[in-house]
């Protein structure tokens, strides 16, 4: 029997920490996009997303609808340190994990899928990841700042 997707803040927290801990660039755009790819692939391969979160199309790429609350909660609980850096052209928000992720909250299939997403984009820049997201069928069919469908998803990296 298929389960309805219900937002799971604990899995979202651990997924964000795991992605940030696995990347030299833990910008919010990168973390959010890789969360999207993990949930989209899980929807496609496991018939339900990992986090149960909805995603919206924003100028920063696919963004979990609960991202702001998630970051506030993780920061307040001491799980991550949120920081911003300025370059010549932008202000970049990042999260730095203050602890290791608890991967026991995920099933073995979910852990394998998450690690494949992280590995697939390990050498990609955040711009490359945003470009891949923009080529997702669900992303191209939506208006800016509208909710994204996770299924069907055409993943160009698989």
- Higher pLDDT among residues 141 and 18, named by residue: 18
- Cβ(58)–Cβ(33) under 8 Å? no
Res 58 pLDDT > 50: yes
Residue 86 lies in a domain: yes
For residue 118, give both structure tokens.
Answer: 């992280």
Residue 44 structural domain: 9-147
What pLDDT shows up at residue 56? 86
Among 34-43, 55-64, 141-150, top mean pLDDT goes to: 34-43
Residue 156 lies in a domain: no
What pLDDT shows up at residue 103? 98
Residue 158 lies in a domain: no
- Higher pLDDT among residues 136 and 93, named by residue: 93
Residue 3 lies in a domain: no
Residue 4 lies in a domain: no
Least confident of 19-23, 25-29, 108-112: 25-29
Residue partners of 156: CB distance under 8 A and separation at least 6:
132, 135, 136
Tell me how far CA of residue 143 lies from CA of 20, 131, 132, in angstroms. Answer: 28, 16, 17
34 vs 63: CA distance, rounded Å: 10
Neighbours of 46 (CB within 10 A): 13
Residue 152 lies in a domain: no
> Looking at the 3D structure of the chain, how many domains does it have?
1
Residue 155 lies in a domain: no
The whole-number average pLDDT for the span 94-114 is 97
Output the pTM of the full model: 0.85
The whole-number average pLDDT for the span 32-42 is 94
């Amino acid at each position: 029997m298929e389960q309805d997707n219900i937002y799971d803040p604990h899995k979202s927290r651990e997924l964000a920490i795991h992605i940030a801990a696995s990347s030299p660039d833990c910008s919010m755009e990168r973390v959010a996009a890789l969360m999207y790819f993990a949930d989209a692939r899980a929807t496609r391969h496991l018939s339900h997303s990992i986090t149960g979160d909805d995603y919206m199309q924003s100028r920063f790429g696919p963004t979990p609808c609960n991202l702001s609350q998630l970051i506030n909660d993780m920061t307040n609980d001491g799980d991550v340190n949120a920081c911003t850096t300025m370059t010549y052209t932008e202000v970049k928000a990042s999260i730095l994990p203050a602890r290791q992720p608890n991967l026991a909250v995920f099933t073995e299939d979910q852990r394998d899928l998450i690690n494949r997403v992280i590995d697939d984009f390990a050498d990609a820049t955040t711009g490359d990841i945003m470009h891949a997201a923009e080529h997702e069928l669900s992303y191209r069919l939506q208006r800016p700042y509208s909710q994204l469908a996770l299924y069907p998803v055409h993943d160009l990296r698989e």
